């Protein structure tokens, strides 16, 4: 329990608080929250397992793990066009985080050229990764392959397209052979016959030129079998470049040359569609389909035949498609498809031997382009290939993850409800003694009369339990000036009481005692004025009215249970002047009641909620308009300037995003105060829902802007839009999604997950506290600046008065008190951070498993961080119901959990299992339907759990009100602000005027004379007002003595160090420390933490 003491320049002094249930004195809500963090550890572990499995599927890990590949940036593509060059160069010059060592035009040009040159290296890395994947698959396939296969790959004879070489050829399956081509095919067959080659099977593409070549050659060879048609060995398609003049297409500065320089020889894909409706293919595309056919043939070759050791196969194919396959089989360089030559009817002989893993085996090139009788043309292309198997694996992994998280989440929610039920049954608190009466006359403000009426009503219903008292809800919140006047009076009363206790204890030096006496004198003058004003509120024309609500407090907890049971059976349990009085169960504790708002109707609260949402939206829009400029003019151009610069930039972007979310959270808090909620738990639910919705929108705006900044720098990708992320997985998207995934990873780690909480501790606690300390001393203690400057500086001081003469004790205390425990904001982080990690699963990224592992680390960190903030930094706040927890886990199932289910379905259609070739709107619709079904499953599952977990079960142990009050300190009487003022200022006058009081005033306590309990602490005859942080004012004289004699230091609280530094600085300022004994004195002032360990 903390109090703030400026007289000794000591910011915080710690006092003991003895309670029986010391594990948790702030209600079940705190325990439920920490259970939620523990559950996040389980979520992180399950997510890590699933994401690690898919990170290595389909050879993706080998392709994405190279650090050179992650540096493949959009700048290298943008440099190919003058338009993008004009956009990027200013960004490189002006960006404060540029990697250029100079900003001169020559320096920029040199930097850009060096970065552009690395494009070829990146393409080489991609090629090496793909070959490594193929090698891995081939090794894994060897155990199931038993037969050696010898392949004769033969290019078709001369066609009409080969004769018209000035035009770009391509797939065109109807192109016939020329007369010379017919001759070439026959010569080929004759040669094969002379060499004694006998084919077991012959394959040919469905192109006329390949089929005709196979027919003529096999006739010469004497092959009597069937020629099998195989479309996967057909020539690659050159899109809309086919039939165009070759000189124009391959001209310097033309589309092909630009594409090859941009993407490399291996990965360039011709644009558009051919006349046959086939999209342009890269060499990589061709190699994939070609390799699939060869792999199927090898798998189907069968066991070794002792009489016929090898299977001999002829494949009549095409030039570019054959070179693409051979390049991959022998792991040649990307330039192979350009520098290698495949002539018409040339023979390329390759042998595949499935030796064991430790023996030499696999592919061997026997001869290449054997054309002793023929010649051919060169063709150059690049390719990009699909990753077989990876999307299917991801769909399965995330589907299993969804089922696992759904089951564990339902189990956890059931455990949470059982925890709440057990907490309520086994612990006795003030809510166990109270019911709420509604519909009472507003002029009924006599607690004694109301208590007697309640006792009579209970007696009529044969409920034989004693009534402790009633706490009337007074209507004082509608008048803003009256509301603050009430709380100002209580502040002055608490401050005067605290100073009196300090003077009695004589724990300060002479100067501090003089300050205290002066402050006490001023406060007593104010208290005298408060007394006369408050007496008018209870006896006079300005008498306060009630809200029609009163809390009926029983002496035994079983009395409440009896009332609720009787009321459910008989609704007319209480009647006042022939009007039925409603009875409502109370589950909140007295500090959770917003006493000033009890007079606000539910309709007004609903209207105020929308007004508050509107205020938050205004700030949300304003902030995002500002951050939009940051994303457009810093993030987006800088991403275009190189992904090696995106790391620190994305970290900063993540920190900025967290700070903005914190500012929005503060605005949500301020707006909630004007809504008028009656209970804190309902306000917490609204705070969580609004804060989570706003921060969710803000976070995802930043995420989507980052994605847009990545894809917008590639003209080809930008033209295709977000639809590319819904297509079947290919390396067109793999490279881009890798960049997106890495960028999101840099935003989340460490900025979003780790830096933001630490920044919250720094900016929300340490900085304001140090600022208030320093400014208060400059203005009111040292007075070391001109008066005008002091007035300007005073504006930085919270709760500062209109002058620079005196900073009253209670003003200073209110200005430096730490913020309350804010579970709605903590819960928002608990849901938002896993959601951000889940969002990255929609993209191909090797960072997925790393992010999931960091999610586990974050959950552990967040547990320790929250314990530190709640118990050592923030002010006490009570969370006595599980209403907030229930709302949080409803959101959990309908947002993050449903997102995982949607992610699994997304990978189902990206794997081509459903909606293959379907339009974009159908895929989006399927995602929305999946999301809605996931939400429905979650809501129905929770509904099935609730009947088993009713929250109105009776207490297991009968509690006594007096025992409970000794343990919890607060009660329904000392938490009621107006009732406390009534006991403080009106009751003494009432007792003085009462005839009974004149006779027995010295023999009976005030409550016995009045006939009703008063707002008090340990001493039932001394008025006290309960305020978090002021619990020590309620203690008995014996406990007060322990407080005065105690010296409590906490080595984990920065205030401990600051207090000793301040004290030592004050000694130095007063010349009480000489230079000779400086270090000795300093050691005396350092805190002693021997007992802390």
**Which bin fits 333, alpha (ψ -120 to 50), beta or left (φ > 0)?**
beta
Terminal CA-to-CA distance of the chain, rounded, Å?
A: 21
Of 156, 742, 1012, 1034, the active-site residue reads: 156
Give me the helices (H) in 330-379, please: 336-339
Contact 475, 624 (CB under 8 A): no
158 belongs to an annotated ligand binding site: yes
Q: What pLDDT, on a 0 to 100 scale, did the predictor assign at position 14?
A: 37
Q: What pLDDT, on a 0 to 100 scale, did the predictor assign at position 403?
A: 93
CA distance 741 to 686: 33
Write the CB contacts of 453 (distance below 8 Å, at least 6 apart in sequence).
576
CB atoms within 10 A of CB 275: 11
773 belongs to an annotated ligand binding site: no
CB environment 503-530: b (16+ within 10 A), e (fewer): eeeebbeeebeebbeebbebbeebbeeb
Active site residue 235: yes
159 belongs to an annotated ligand binding site: yes
Q: What pLDDT, on a 0 to 100 scale, did the predictor assign at position 716?
A: 52
Q: pLDDT digits over 463-497, tens only?
A: 889 999 999 999 998 888 899 899 989 988 888 88
Largest CA distance in the chain: 139
Angle at 563 between CA 558 and CA 565, to 5 degrees: 95
CA distance 21 to 429: 10
Nearest to residue 34, comparing CAs of 851, 853, 859, 692? 859
Q: What pLDDT, on a 0 to 100 scale, did the predictor assign at position 406?
A: 94
The architecture CATH gives domain 146-353:
3-Layer(aba) Sandwich (3.40)
157 belongs to an annotated ligand binding site: yes
Q: How far is CA 181 from CA 190, 192, 318, 897, 999, in A?
A: 14, 17, 14, 63, 133
Contact 184, 159 (CB under 8 A): no
Q: What pLDDT, on a 0 to 100 scale, did the predictor assign at position 5?
A: 32
The pTM (predicted TM-score) of the whole model is 0.65
Domain boundaries, the chain: 2-62+392-424+599-948, 146-353, 433-597, 1054-1092
Q: Please, what is the angle between helix 28-55 and helix 848-868, to 10°?
A: 160
Q: pLDDT digits over 920-953, tens only?
A: 888 889 999 999 999 999 999 888 876 644 444 5
180 belongs to an annotated ligand binding site: no
- At 485 the three-state DSSP class reads helix
Contact 331, 217 (CB under 8 A): no
Measure CA 754 to chain center: 11
Write the CB contacts of 812 (distance below 8 Å, at least 6 apart in sequence).
4, 6, 772, 776, 799
Q: Please, what is the angle between helix 920-945 and helix 390-426, to 10°?
A: 20
61 belongs to an annotated ligand binding site: no
With the C-alpha atoms ordered 88, 92, 93, 97, is the resulting torsion angle positive or negative? positive
Instruction: Report mean pLDDT in 10-residue bins for the chain, 1093 residues.
Output: 30 33 62 90 89 55 36 34 33 32 47 46 53 66 77 92 71 85 89 87 93 93 90 85 75 73 68 75 84 87 64 92 86 74 88 66 82 44 36 85 93 88 81 92 91 92 91 90 90 86 70 77 83 85 89 93 87 85 90 90 89 82 70 58 46 57 64 83 89 81 71 58 65 63 75 76 76 84 84 82 79 77 88 90 80 90 86 78 88 94 90 81 91 93 67 62 84 94 82 49 57 86 86 76 61 67 70 59 51 40
Angle at 801 between CA 800 and CA 802, to 5 degrees: 125
147 belongs to an annotated ligand binding site: no
Of 62, 138, 230, 235, the active-site residue reads: 235
Q: What pLDDT, on a 0 to 100 scale, did the predictor assign at position 6?
A: 28
CA distance 506 to 512: 10
Contact 512, 1048 (CB under 8 A): no
209 belongs to an annotated ligand binding site: yes
Give CA torsion, residues 485, 487, 490, 491, to 10 deg: -100
Q: What pLDDT, on a 0 to 100 scale, did the predictor assign at position 508?
A: 60
Contact 54, 397 (CB under 8 A): yes
Contact 382, 281 (CB under 8 A): no
160 belongs to an annotated ligand binding site: yes
Active site residue 882: no
């Amino acid at each position: 329990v903390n109090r703030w003491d400026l007289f000794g320049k000591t910011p915080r002094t710690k006092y003991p608080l003895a309670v029986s249930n010391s594990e948790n004195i702030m209600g079940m809500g705190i325990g439920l929250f920490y259970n939620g963090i523990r559950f996040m550890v389980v979520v992180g572990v399950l997510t890590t397992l699933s994401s690690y499995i898919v990170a290595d599927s389909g050879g993706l890990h080998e392709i994405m793990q190279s650090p050179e590949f992650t540096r493949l940036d959009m700048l290298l593509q943008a440099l190919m066009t003058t338009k993008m060059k004009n956009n990027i160069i200013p960004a490189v010059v002006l960006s404060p985080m540029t990697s250029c060592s100079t900003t001169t035009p020559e320096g920029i040009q040199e930097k850009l050229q060096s970065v552009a040159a690395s494009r070829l290296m990146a393409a080489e890395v991609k090629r090496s990764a793909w070959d490594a994947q193929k090698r891995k698959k081939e090794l894994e396939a060897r155990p199931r392959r038993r037969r050696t296969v010898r392949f004769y790959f033969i290019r078709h004879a001369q066609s009409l397209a080969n004769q018209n070489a000035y035009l770009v050829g391509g797939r065109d399956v109807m192109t016939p052979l020329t007369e010379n081509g017919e001759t070439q095919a026959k010569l080929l067959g004759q040669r094969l016959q002379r060499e004694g080659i006998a084919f077991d099977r012959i394959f040919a593409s469905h192109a006329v030129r390949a089929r005709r070549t196979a027919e003529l050659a096999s006739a010469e060879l004497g092959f009597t079998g069937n020629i099998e048609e195989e479309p996967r060995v057909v020539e690659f398609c050159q899109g809309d470049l086919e039939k165009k003049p070759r000189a124009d297409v391959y001209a310097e500065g033309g589309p092909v040359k630009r594409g090859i320089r941009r993407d490399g020889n291996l990965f360039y894909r011709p644009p558009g569609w051919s006349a046959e409706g086939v999209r342009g293919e890269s060499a990589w595309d061709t190699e994939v389909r070609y390799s699939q056919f060869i792999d199927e043939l090898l798998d189907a070759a069968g066991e070794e035949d002792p009489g016929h050791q090898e299977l001999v196969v002829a494949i009549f194919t095409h030039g570019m498609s054959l070179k693409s396959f051979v390049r991959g089989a022998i792991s040649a360089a990307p330039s192979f498809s350009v520098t290698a030559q495949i002539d018409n009817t040339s023979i390329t002989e390759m042998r595949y031997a499935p030796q064991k893993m430790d023996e030499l085996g696999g592919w061997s090139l026997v001869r290449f382009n054997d054309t002793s009788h023929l010649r051919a043309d060169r063709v150059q292309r690049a390719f990009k290939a699909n990753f077989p198997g990876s999307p299917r694996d991801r769909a399965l992994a995330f589907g299993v993850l969804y089922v696992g998280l759904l089951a564990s989440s339902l189990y956890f929610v059931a455990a949470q409800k059982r925890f709440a039920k057990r907490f309520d049954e086994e612990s006795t608190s003030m809510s166990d003694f109270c019911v709420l009466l509604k519909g009472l006359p507003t002029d009924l403000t006599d607690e004694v009369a109301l208590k007697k009426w309640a006792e009579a009503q209970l007696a009529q219903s044969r409920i034989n339990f004693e009534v402790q008292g009633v706490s009337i809800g007074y209507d004082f919140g509608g008048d803003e000036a009256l509301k603050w006047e009430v709380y100002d009076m209580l502040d002055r009363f608490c401050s005067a009481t605290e100073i009196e206790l300090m003077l009695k204890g004589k724990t300060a030096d002479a100067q501090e005692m003089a300050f205290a006496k002066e402050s006490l004198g001023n406060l007593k003058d104010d208290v005298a004025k408060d007394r006369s004003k408050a007496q008018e509120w209870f006896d006079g024309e300005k008498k306060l009215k009630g809200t029609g609500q009163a809390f009926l407090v029983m002496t035994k907890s079983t009395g409440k249970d009896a009332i609720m049971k009787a009321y459910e059976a008989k609704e007319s349990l209480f009647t006042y002047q022939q009007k039925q009085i409603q009875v409502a169960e109370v589950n909140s504790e007295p500090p959770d009641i917003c006493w000033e708002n009890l007079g606000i109707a539910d309709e007004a609260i609903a209207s105020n909620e929308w007004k508050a949402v509107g205020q938050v939206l205004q700030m949300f829009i304003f902030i995002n308009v500002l951050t939009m400029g940051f994303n457009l003019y810093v993030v987006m151009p800088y991403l275009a300037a190189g992904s090696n610069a995106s790391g620190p930039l994305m970290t900063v972007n993540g920190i900025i995003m967290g700070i903005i979310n914190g500012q929005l959270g503060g605005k949500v808090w301020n707006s909630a105060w004007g809504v008028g909620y009656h209970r804190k738990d309902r306000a917490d639910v609204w705070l969580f829902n609004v804060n989570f919705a706003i921060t969710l929108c803000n976070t995802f705006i930043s995420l989507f802007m980052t994605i847009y900044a990545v894809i917008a720098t590639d003209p080809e990708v930008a033209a295709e839009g977000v639809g590319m992320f819904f297509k079947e997985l290919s390396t067109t998207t793999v490279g881009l999604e890798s960049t997106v995934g890495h960028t999101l990873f840099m935003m989340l780690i460490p900025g979003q997950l780790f830096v933001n909480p630490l920044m919250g501790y720094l900016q929300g606690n340490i900085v304001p506290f140090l600022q208030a300390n320093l400014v208060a001393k400059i203005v009111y203690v040292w007075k070391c600046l001109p008066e005008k400057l002091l007035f300007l500086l005073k504006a930085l001081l919270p709760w500062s008065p209109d002058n620079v003469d005196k900073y009253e004790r209670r003003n200073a205390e209110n200005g430096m008190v730490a913020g309350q425990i804010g579970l709605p904001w903590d819960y928002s982080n608990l849901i938002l951070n896993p959601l951000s990690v889940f969002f990255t699963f929609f993209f191909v990224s090797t960072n997925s498993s790393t992010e999931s592992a960091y999610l586990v680390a974050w959950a552990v960190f967040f547990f320790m961080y929250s314990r530190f903030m709640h118990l050592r930094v923030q002010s006490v706040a009570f969370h006595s119901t599980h209403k907030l927890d229930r709302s949080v886990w409803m959101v959990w199932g309908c947002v993050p959990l449903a997102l995982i289910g949607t992610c699994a379905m997304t990978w189902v259609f990206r794997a081509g299992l459903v909606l293959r070739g379907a339009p974009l709107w159908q895929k989006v619709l399927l995602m929305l339907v999946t999301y809605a079904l996931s939400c429905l499953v979650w809501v129905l599952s929770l509904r099935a759990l609730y009947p088993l977990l009713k929250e109105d079960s009776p207490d297991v142990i009968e509690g006594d009100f007096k025992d409970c009050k000794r343990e919890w300190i607060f009660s329904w009487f000392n938490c009621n602000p107006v009732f406390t003022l009534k006991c403080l200022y009106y009751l003494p006058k009432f007792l003085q005027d009462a005839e009974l009081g004149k006779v027995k005033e010295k023999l009976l306590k005030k409550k016995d004379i009045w006939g009703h309990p008063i707002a008090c602490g340990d001493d039932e005859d001394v008025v006290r007002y309960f305020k978090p942080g002021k619990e020590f004012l309620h203690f008995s004289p014996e406990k007060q003595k322990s407080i005065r004699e105690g010296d409590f230091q906490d080595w984990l609280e920065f205030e401990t160090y600051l207090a000793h530094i301040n004290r030592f600085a004050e000694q130095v300022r007063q010349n009480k420390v000489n230079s000779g004994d400086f270090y000795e004195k300093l050691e005396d002032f350092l805190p002693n933490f021997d007992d802390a360990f």
